[in-house]
Amino acid sequence: MSLITTLARLEAVRDGRARPLATVRHRHLAEKPFVFVPLTTAGEAGAPLGAMVGTDPDTPRLLVVPQPRDRDLRSAFLAELAEAMLPYIESYAEGAEYAEDTENTSGSEEPCADAPQLLVPSAAGVEYVRLLGRSMRFRRTAEQDPDAPHPAPPRVPLLGRWLTHFGERARVPGSSLLPAMTQLLGRHWATGQSVLEDQHLGALLAWIDPPHGLTGAEAAARAERERDRDGLLVHPPAGPATDPVFDNKRLAPAIARYDQGRTGAEREIHDLLETQLRPTWDAVWRGVGLLRALPEGAHVADRWKRDRWSYTAHRDRLRAGEPPQPKQDDAVTAARKLGARETAQAQLDAQEALDDPLVMAGRRLAGEAFEGEVTAVVMEYSQAKVPRPRPLVTVRTGDAPHPAEGARLHRALPGGKSQSAEFVAHEADGTLTVRLTGGMGRGKVPEAGSVPEPGDTVCWTLFEHAPRGGPELPDPDRTPWTHGGPPAAAAEAPDPVTAEDLL
Amino acid sequence: MIRSLDSRPEARPETAAPTALRQRLAELRGPTVAPRPLDARALAALAANPGCHRRALLDGAGVDKAALSRALGAPAAFGQSQFAFVRGHAFEARVKADGGAELVRLLRERLGDGSPAPEHVDLPDLAAAGPEGRTARTALALREATAAGRWAVLDHPLLALTVAGTPAYLEPDAVVVHPDGSWTVVEIKSFAMVDGSADSAKVGAAARQAAVYALALEAVAERLGAEAGLVRHRILLVCPKDFSNLPAASLVDVRKQLATTRRQLARLTGVASIAAALPEGTTFDLCLADDGRTSMRPAAELASAVDAVAAAYAPECLAACELAFHCRARSRAADAVQALGRGLRAELGGLTTVGAVLAAASGEAGDPDDPTVSALRRAAALRAQALAGVAG
Ligand code: SF4
């Protein structure tokens, strides 16, 4: 944690409410995100209990598994989930733009104009999406395999492949196909509690937007701990795990009544799950509102374009009839994904700093950038046959960078380009000299505005602004088969069906 | 392997605390209250925060921390869903259904050392009266099974370990005795192993718990007079496979956890010296009403008893200790920066309170030559500049 972040947390303790960690929004927020609040059965892997889903904060759709041990009921739930989610996911698949650039014979393709965004409450929700994806993608429908003992409903394996894709994409730093609300909020606000405690969506919101008359700490303590007379949490956890007291005192008896075939038991389970899901659903939308109030960072659209590519590439893989994602990546794919994630992290770090002075402040504190006022500019030229401008710029700064002599520096120019420079020396009077080495046009005279003038405030970074790979390309691991991806492996077998696949 | 196992057939664990200490601990707990035995989970958590005297004493004295936290008005959120409980038991029963043969099969398969399949797996009866009887029975069964040179599975053996002067009884899911006389701890968990890997946090917790069992087994081995190396350092973790009820197993090396636990437990200040430092008459007795649940002690009185013992609260406590909400409130009231995380505390050098850090950062206090203070001032100035630029 940078000292600036630490300070922000301590300020939050002092003020009794969260303090900003960013001055712009660093993540894409869809105009119409699809919110997915899942609940799972305690102690069972991949046995969903229910979910609240949809794109309209006022009219969520509630899906319920009245008896999670019943394979058919789980299948029905997944079918419903597919029916609720797939139209949303697929609605972005049409209309991939093709650049109408007649000179470009390579047919430079563009990704889909927009992409779906699934929003879950917390990091555990992201993991659950992965797990659901894994549990569904190898299943066979009756059409695919007439002999399958328990055929999957038609669209379930397809949803499994999409959820797997979303889950995988979520591991790429800065990606926004499947963000967790706690992570989005935690990126933008520092609370007066620990990072561990920030995993609780209710507590996190309590710090960011405490109700009138309460401090963040008080409101967070309530959100975490307040229980009613029966010992049930007043603010249920954001899932997918449920409150054990709820399980034992409410859900288990209701399920027992359902098993006995009592009338109204199913309705009761619906109502019970609604009490657990609705507060989280509302909390996610409250988070959306808070995030929308922040202006979007300048590079967010670039990163979203990568997400659009990722989505488009997966669409193409599905269309090409490729098999589901393997259970385990082969070594090459795994290494490539790791490499891509590292690049994405470096890009994210650079872009966030460029988009946000508060992030840049952290880099300046770390000696990775410096800002100051230009005190002198001396025009010099390179020795080449056609001499190029190589002006020497002197800067006075309070920052304490430690570049080696000749180290490469980078400066953002208006219009998004970056200008390279070279560190020359720390001068005796405390100023720094820097030689500009590019970004001044092709002529002997630098283009207007490309060389700073005395009195200007400038900021140089020791890190590159666009580390490896432009924003126009799909990530290596998203390269569609049609674009020379690795050869398709045979589809893996579905999970064997055991006599009772639940205990 | 040949061992001399003729020593002390009823090897009694060193459970006996000196009478004076026992007396004192009983007073702390409340004279009519039965001590709450420590289990492996508690020991693993204890080892995770060895600097906490409060926990060491309360656990050492066998105080029911969950009840105490309720009486303090800061109940812990620990609890288990009956769905998870039922599933956990059903899975364990299923894995052990055939008298241990399945466990031995999984173990052999994982070891892959080509040892011949057993014709028979011994399943000694471990029933006995009372914890001391059961630990003695376990020790005897281990001795016999080891001497027999056959596969044997001990189902829920009971082991004893003395921690900071107090006895703890530990009950692993199973211990397998190999024909060569070595022992393997078995942990059966109900979280799934999907495509060969499970939630790393859960595996880590299981490994720490298993390390405590291995430690206790080593103590038994020592008492039995067998040479060291008897306890295998790779434990067998058994989980449901993928989305099924079939078992999947994996060998987990717990040498690191074993070393850490051993070191941390040794570091635990003896309960005796903590107890000795308490004011006269201190007790955690809840003076329960006839319902056996309601505390008759005023919360403030209990709180001052609890606060008389030094704590070392950090956010990790929230997942490990029943008193966490109480300790967190105290830590926050004391303005401690550690309440926000150990890492943060480490970053701030000698400044331990929020007030002191903010005062140093704003220039109101602190020695400007202190590198922490100057870094803080620089950070505060940069932060203020960035925020002002946006606001203006
Ligand atoms: S919660 Fe309190 S008693 Fe428990 S370990 Fe943490 S500081 Fe010690």
Angle (deg, nearest 10), helices B299-307 and B324-333: 80
Task: For residue A40, give the nearest of B44, B387, B83, B187 by alpha carbon.
Answer: B83
Q: Are the Cβ atoms of B347 and A6 closer than 8 angstroms? A: yes
CB B4: neighbour CB atoms within 10 A?
Answer: 10
List Cβ neighbours of A227 (8 Å cut-off, separation of 6 or more).
A233, A234, A245, B75
CA distances (Å), origin A4, targets A14, A165, A174, B9 = 15, 35, 21, 64
Instruction: Quote the percentage of chain A above a pLDDT of 70.
Output: 91
Checking if the pLDDT of A100 tops 50, the result is: no
Cα–Cα–Cα angle for B160, B165, B171, rounded to 5 degrees: 20
Nearest CA in chain B to A10: B354
The continuous run of DSSP H or E covering B361 comes out as: helix B354-362
Q: Is the CB of B63 under 6 A from ligand 1?
A: no
d(CA B374, CA B355): 16
User: Which amino acid, residue A453?
Assistant: E
Q: Is the CB of B317 under 6 A from ligand 1?
A: yes
Q: Compute the nearest-CA separation of B379 from chain A (Å).
A: 5
Q: Are the Cβ atoms of B378 and A365 closer than 8 angstroms? A: yes
Q: What is the pLDDT of residues B39-73, one digit of tens each?
A: 888 888 877 787 889 998 898 888 999 999 999 98
Residues of chain A neighbouring B383 (CB-CB closer than 8 A)? 4, 7-8, 358, 361
Give the distance (Å) from ligand 1 centre to CA of residue B84.
26
Give the pLDDT confidence score for residue B390 in this predicted structure: 64
Q: Are the Cβ atoms of A244 and B385 closer than 8 angstroms? A: no
Position in ligand 1 atom list of the atom nearest CA B53: 8
DSSP letters spanning B198-211: --HHHHHHHHHHHH
Task: For residue B318, give the nearest of B305, B331, B304, B306 by alpha carbon.
Answer: B331
Q: What is the pLDDT of residues B134-161, one digit of tens each?
A: 999 999 899 888 888 889 999 999 998 8
Q: Is the CB of B331 under 6 A from ligand 1?
A: no
| Partners of residue B251 on adjacent β-strands | B236
Residues of chain B neighbouring A8 (CB-CB closer than 8 A)? 383
B266 CB near a chain A CB, below 8 Å? Answer: no
Give the pLDDT confidence score for residue B155 in this predicted structure: 93
Mean pLDDT along residues A331-336: 81
Q: Which residue has the higher pLDDT, B99 or A88?
A: A88
Checking if the pLDDT of B85 tops 80, the result is: yes
Give the pLDDT confidence score for residue B313 in this predicted structure: 94
Give the distance (Å) from ligand 1 centre to CA of residue B322.
8
Question: Residue B287 class from Cβ within 10 Å (0-12 exposed, 13-18 middle, 19+ buried)?
Answer: middle
Q: What is the pLDDT of residues A411-420, one digit of tens each?
A: 998 877 889 9
Q: What is the pLDDT of residues B7-44, one digit of tens each?
A: 333 333 344 456 777 788 888 988 888 888 778 888 88
d(CA A46, CA A381): 67
Contact assessment for residue B363 and residue B338, using Cβ atoms and an 8 Å cutoff? no
d(CA B329, CA B297): 20
Q: Are the Cβ atoms of A498 and B246 closer than 8 angstroms? A: yes
Instruction: Quote the percentage of chain B above a pLDDT of 90.
Output: 39
Q: Is the CB of B49 under 6 A from ligand 1?
A: yes
Torsion angle defined by CA atoms of residues A432, A436, A440 and A444, in that order, rounded to the nearest 10 degrees: 120
Which among B96, B238, B242 is the top mutation candidate for probing chain A, defined by the most A β-carbons within 10 Å of its own β-carbon?
B242
Checking if the pLDDT of A466 tops 50, the result is: yes
Q: Are the Cβ atoms of B86 and A131 closer than 8 angstroms? A: no
Give the pLDDT confidence score for residue A491 in this predicted structure: 63
DSSP letters spanning A232-290: -BSS---SSSPPHHHIIIIIHHHHHHHHTT-TTHHHHHHHHHHHHHHHHHHHHHHHHHH
Mean pLDDT along residues A241-253: 93
Position in ligand 1 atom list of the atom nearest CA B318: 1
Residues of chain B neighbouring A248 (CB-CB closer than 8 A)? 79, 81-82
B87 CB near a chain A CB, below 8 Å? Answer: yes
B358 CB near a chain A CB, below 8 Å? Answer: yes
The continuous run of DSSP H or E covering A225 comes out as: helix A216-225
Mean pLDDT across chain A, nearest whole number? 88
Contact assessment for residue A427 and residue A372, using Cβ atoms and an 8 Å cutoff? no
Residue indicated by tokens 């970004």: A439
Q: What is the pLDDT of residues B152-190, one digit of tens each?
A: 999 999 998 887 666 788 999 999 999 888 999 999 998
Contact assessment for residue A121 and residue A37, using Cβ atoms and an 8 Å cutoff? yes
Q: Compute the nearest-CA separation of B372 from chain A (Å).
A: 10
Q: Is the CB of B310 under 6 A from ligand 1?
A: no
Residues of chain A neighbouring B84 (CB-CB closer than 8 A)? 42-43, 244
d(CA A110, CA A108): 7
B384 CB near a chain A CB, below 8 Å? Answer: no
Pull the structure tokens for residue A480: 């569609």
Q: Is the CB of B312 under 6 A from ligand 1?
A: yes
Mean pLDDT across chain B, nearest whole number? 85
Q: What is the pLDDT of residues B275-325, one digit of tens each?
A: 888 888 889 988 888 887 888 888 899 999 999 999 999 999 998 899 999
Give the pLDDT confidence score for residue A104 in this predicted structure: 38
Give the pLDDT confidence score for residue A469 in this predicted structure: 53
Contact assessment for residue B47 and residue B256, using Cβ atoms and an 8 Å cutoff? no
Q: Is the CB of B380 under 6 A from ligand 1?
A: no
Contact assessment for residue A169 and residue A303, using Cβ atoms and an 8 Å cutoff? no
Q: Are the Cβ atoms of A247 and B341 closer than 8 angstroms? A: no
Residues 417-456 of A with CB under 8 A from B: none
Mean pLDDT along residues A108-113: 76
Contact assessment for residue B164 and residue B268, using Cβ atoms and an 8 Å cutoff? yes
Which among A4, A194, A329 is the top mutation candidate for probing chain B, defined by the most B β-carbons within 10 Å of its own β-carbon?
A194
d(CA A219, CA A207): 7
Q: Which residue has the higher pLDDT, A386 or B105?
A: B105
Pull the structure tokens for residue B22: 């026992």
Mean pLDDT along residues B118-126: 87
d(CA A242, CA A258): 19
d(CA B125, CA B127): 6
Q: Is the CB of B183 under 6 A from ligand 1?
A: no
Domain with CATH 2.40.30.10 in chain A: 357-461
ipTM: 0.87
Contact assessment for residue A477 and residue A430, using Cβ atoms and an 8 Å cutoff? no
Q: Are the Cβ atoms of A45 and B196 closer than 8 angstroms? A: no
d(CA A203, CA A225): 10
d(CA A327, CA A128): 16
The continuous run of DSSP H or E covering A168 comes out as: helix A156-169
Q: Are the Cβ atoms of B325 and A501 closer than 8 angstroms? A: no
Task: For residue A320, give the nearest of A93, A139, A488, A152 by alpha carbon.
Answer: A488
Mean pLDDT along residues B328-348: 91
CB B237: neighbour CB atoms within 10 A?
Answer: 25
A357 CB near a chain B CB, below 8 Å? Answer: yes
SS (H, E, C) A412-457: ECCCCCEEEEEEEEECCCCCEEEEECCCCCCCCCCCCCCCCCCCCE
User: Which amino acid, residue B222?
Assistant: E
Q: Is the CB of B48 under 6 A from ligand 1?
A: no
A130 CB near a chain B CB, below 8 Å? Answer: no
Q: Compute the nearest-CA separation of A135 from chain B (Å).
A: 7
CB A144: neighbour CB atoms within 10 A?
Answer: 14
Q: Is the CB of B323 under 6 A from ligand 1?
A: yes
Question: Residue B120 class from Cβ within 10 Å (0-12 exposed, 13-18 middle, 19+ buried)?
Answer: exposed
CA distances (Å), origin A39, targets A59, A71, A175, A241, A342 = 18, 17, 24, 6, 32
Q: Report helix, strand or coil for B238.
A: strand
Which one-letter DSSP state was computed for residue A473? S
Give the distance (Å) from ligand 1 centre to CA of residue B13.
29
Mean pLDDT along residues A444-463: 91
**Which among A41, A365, A503 has the least Cβ separation from residue B245?**
A503
User: Side-chain half-sphere of B334: how many Cα atoms within 13 Å?
Assistant: 16
Contact assessment for residue B346 and residue B314, using Cβ atoms and an 8 Å cutoff? no
B263: left (phi over 0), alpha (psi -120 to 50) or beta: alpha
Task: For residue A373, give the nearest of A428, A420, A414, A430 by alpha carbon.
Answer: A430
Q: How confident is the model at residue B226 (pLDDT cuts 50, 70, 90)?
A: low
Q: What is the pLDDT of residues A152-165, one digit of tens each?
A: 888 999 999 999 99
Q: Are the Cβ atoms of B81 and A43 closer than 8 angstroms? A: yes
Q: Are the Cβ atoms of A248 and B191 closer than 8 angstroms? A: no
Q: Which residue has the higher pLDDT, A179 or A113?
A: A179
Give the pLDDT confidence score for residue A441 in this predicted structure: 85
Checking if the pLDDT of B377 tops 90, the result is: yes
Give the pLDDT confidence score for residue B138 in this predicted structure: 92
DSSP letters spanning B132-170: HHHHHHHHHHHHHHHHHTS-EEEES--EEEEETTEEEEE
Q: How confident is the model at residue A84 (pLDDT cuts 50, 70, 90)?
A: very high
Give the distance (Å) from ligand 1 centre to CA of residue B58.
10
The domain A357-461: what is its CATH number? 2.40.30.10
Report domain extents, chain B: 20-79+266-313, 82-256, 347-391
Q: How confident is the model at residue B1 (pLDDT cuts 50, 70, 90)?
A: very low
Most confident by average pLDDT, A118-127, A477-486, B160-169: A118-127
Which among A1, A2, A7 is the top mutation candidate for probing chain B, defined by the most B β-carbons within 10 Å of its own β-carbon?
A7
d(CA A263, CA A271): 14
Q: Are the Cβ atoms of A23 and B390 closer than 8 angstroms? A: yes
d(CA A109, CA A116): 19
Nearest alpha carbon, ligand 1 atom 4: B321
Give the distance (Å) from ligand 1 centre to CA of residue B325.
9
Pull the structure tokens for residue B1: 């392997």
d(CA A389, CA A63): 67
Which one-letter DSSP state was computed for residue A478? G
Which one-letter DSSP state was computed for residue B237? E
Residues of chain B neighbouring A44 (CB-CB closer than 8 A)? 83, 87
Q: Compute the nearest-CA separation of A9 from chain B (Å).
A: 8
d(CA B55, CA B166): 13
A498 CB near a chain B CB, below 8 Å? Answer: yes
Torsion angle defined by CA atoms of residues B97, B101, B105 and B107, in that order, rounded to the nearest 10 degrees: 90
Residue indicated by tokens 């967070």: A220
d(CA B204, CA A21): 32
